[in-house]
Chain A
Amino acid sequence: MDKKEKSDELFIAHKELAFQSQEKGKRAAELVIANEELFFQKEEKGKRAAELIVANKELVLQKEEKKKRAAELIASNKEVDELEKRVKERTEDLESFSYSVSHDLRTPLRAINGYAKILGEDYGAVLDDEGKRVLGEVTSNAKKMGVLIDDLLTFSRLGRKGITKSCVDMNNLVETVLSEINQSTTHNAEIKFSNLLPAVADYNLLQPVITNLLLNAIKYSSKKEKPQIEIKSERKKGALIYSISDNGVGFDMQYVDKLFGVFQRLHSDEEFSGTGVGLAIVQRIIHKHDGKVWAEGKEGQGATFFFSLPIIDKIELEKTTNFNYPNNGK
């Protein structure tokens, strides 16, 4: 090969080399970028892994929390069961207690009353007037205690009794109560009522309400020359309101809160006899019906007792169980 040929060849090779070198440089730069990318991805992965670990820990925690909650729920469920059991036991205790009260207290009372009566009947001749009076006190107090026990029992029984609502013809109810009252007590009160609105309530529970309120009105107006009692009803603000007013001794409004308490009385037994349970019974029954009781009065100028009952429409009523419409087809 001659010199010129060689030089040409070298030149080409040199160019080639330069080109390759350039190419290598490019590749190297690309590699650097790729490397950087890889590094970045690795970091990202590391981050993700860390995040995953955290998330995993969170999950474990949540799982534990759930377990705890479940355990707590089971525990509180048990507590509810326990409470229910205790309530049931208490109720049973109360029932057997009221039975004992009613039975065991009445038995000696019956003996006191009975033997006092025998003493009066068989030995009345040897007792002077004072002796007879004292004996009378024994008998009447024994009797009073009997009434007291019965009233208390009625009151406590009301707490346990469920209510069965039906449509109650109030005119009818008042008439029934009045005829019962007229049989057992003598009074000269003029009692007025007409067109009373029907109520949706438990008939058997409304009866003692009306009886108590009417007997009270009769009692506290009995010292008037012309005792007058009036029963009225009206619809007001979505409720039925019934009122029983009398022209009797009335009461001071500052004691109005005491009227409905058990054993609370505004009069001495000498003035007007009573056990102080009647209005408490009324209140308990009306509260059971989601109604209210209240009273207005003035000393010496009569009193009015009110009770309200929610208005229940027919459709709503039919949803409640135990409902029976009275047979009106007579």
Chain B
Amino acid sequence: MENETFEILLIEDNMNDAELAIRALRKGNINNTLIHLKNGAKALEFLFGTGNFEGRDIRKKPKLILLDLKMPKVDGLEVLTQIKANELTKAIPVVVLTSSKEHPDIERAYSLGANSYIVKPVEFDEFTKVVTDLGFYWLLKNQPPV
């Protein structure tokens, strides 16, 4: 893991959603390397080189974090808070993924510094389009922080 290069970090507890998101990115020709982590706790350990990821070179940072809000134990908002509170990670663009626009935490996500959020649509084609547009914007168009 230490020497692996990666550009997208997907934090998503639902395996189906993760698989579909990855497929959507590939379909949209976003073939950037991606790491998928299944919960918030693991994601934080990964980003800050603790726990299971003790000793990982934390200077290797993703260009984009896709973050699901609803996760057991350490939820998306907690992960977001910690990412944005740490000098090391706060400049990484974080796109929040939610299942519905009803989500009461969307506003909080923005106030915590989320760069964007997307509602995962039921329609897979739509999902592909949304995920692709998003990847395109944040990975290709957007000037990444130095």
Contacts and interface: CB of A to CB of B under 8 A. Distances in A.
Interface in B111-144: 120-125, 127
A142 B122 contact: yes
Contact of A111 (B20, B98, B100, B101): B20
Given A117-B124, A142-B122, A110 B103 contact: no
A163 to B, nearest CB: 20
Contacts of B127: 110, 114
Contact of B120 (A110, A115, A118): A110
12 contacts: A99-B102, A99-B103, A103-B98, A103-B102, A103-B103, A107-B99, A110-B127, A113-B123, A114-B16, A143-B122, A146-B122, A153-B102
A98 B70 CA distance: 15
B100 A103 contact: yes
A111 B99 CA distance: 12
Given A107-B14, A114-B20, A102 B99 contact: yes
A146 B20 contact: no
Interface string A141-157: 01101100000010001
A109 interface: yes
Nearest to B123: A143
Please classify how large the interface on chain B is, using the bins under 10, 10 to 19, 20 to 34, 35 or more: 20 to 34
B122 A110 contact: yes
Interface string A119-140: 0000000000000000000000
A106 interface: yes
Interface string A83-117: 00000000000010011001110110111011111
A106 B124 contact: no
Contacts of A107: 14, 16-17, 99
B61 interface: no
Interface of A: 95, 98-99, 102-104, 106-107, 109-111, 113-118, 142-143, 145-146, 153, 157
A111 B122 CA distance: 8
Interface string B76-107: 00000000000000000000001111111000
A113 B123 CA distance: 6
A124 to B, nearest CB: 14
Contact of B123 (A99, A103, A104, A146): A146
Contacts of A111: 16-17, 20
Given A113-B124, A114-B124, A114-B127, A106 B100 contact: yes
Overall SS of chain A's interface = helix
Interface of B: 14, 16-17, 19-20, 23, 70, 98-104, 120-125, 127
Contacts of B124: 110, 113-114, 116-118
Contacts of B14: 107
B122 A109 contact: yes
A120 B127 CA distance: 16
Contacts of A110: 16-17, 20, 99, 120-122, 124, 127
A262 to B, nearest CB: 18
Given A102-B101, A103-B99, 4 more contacts: A99-B103, A102-B99, A103-B70, A103-B100
B123 A118 contact: no
A39 B135 CA distance: 113
* B14, B16, B101, B127: residue with the most chain A Cβ atoms closer than 10 Å: B16
* A107, A109, A110, A111: residue with the most chain B Cβ atoms closer than 10 Å: A110
A111 B121 CA distance: 11
Nearest to B102: A102
B89 to A, nearest CB: 27
A118 to B, nearest CB: 7
A153 B23 CA distance: 29
A98 B103 CA distance: 10
Nearest to A145: B122
A143 B17 CA distance: 16
A145 B102 CA distance: 17
Nearest to A143: B123
Contacts of A95: 104
Nearest to A98: B102
A315 B136 CA distance: 52
